[in-house]
Amino acid sequence: MEEKLDQLLLELRDMKQNMASKDELLDIKQAMATKEELLDMKQMMVTKEEFHEVTENIALILERLDAISKQLTVNTEQQVKINDLSEKVLEHDLDIKVLKKMLTT
């Protein structure tokens, strides 16, 4: 009987050593969020639907940005062509004036 009591006492000591102290429990409690903090966090979270909507909006914005980028490229190419034609027109205008003077003199 005394042997069993000694064995139980040893087991209780082992259990006590493995248990958290009051200070450790207080540290854990302080690190935990309160119900109010959890409710605040929940209110700030987005739903799956809201997340999906934002994702779709981002995809739409990216598509539009890609279209704008392509249009900018086309516009730049067209502007270069227009500038080249403008220079040719000015050159031809000068050539015509020179030819007129040559014919009139």
Q: Which two tokens stand for residue 39?
A: 């409710």
The one-character DSSP state at 38 is H
The DSSP symbol for 1 reads -
Same domain, 2 and 32: yes
| 39 and 81 fall within a common domain | no
What's the sign of the alpha-carbon dihedral 85, 87, 89, 95? negative
State how many domains the chain has.
Answer: 2
Q: What is the pLDDT of residues 78-104, one digit of tens each?
A: 999 999 999 999 999 999 999 999 988
* 70 and 21 assigned to the same domain: no
Prediction pTM value? 0.49
Same domain, residue pair 57 and 76: yes
Contact 13, 21 (CB under 8 A): no
One domain, residues 34 and 85: no
Question: For 24-66, what is each residue's pLDDT tens digit?
Answer: 888 888 888 888 988 988 888 989 999 999 999 999 999 999 9
> Do 39 and 84 have their domain in common?
no
CB 23 within 8 A of CB 31: no
Residue carrying the six token digits 């040893």 = 10
Domain of 14 in residue numbering reads as 1-45
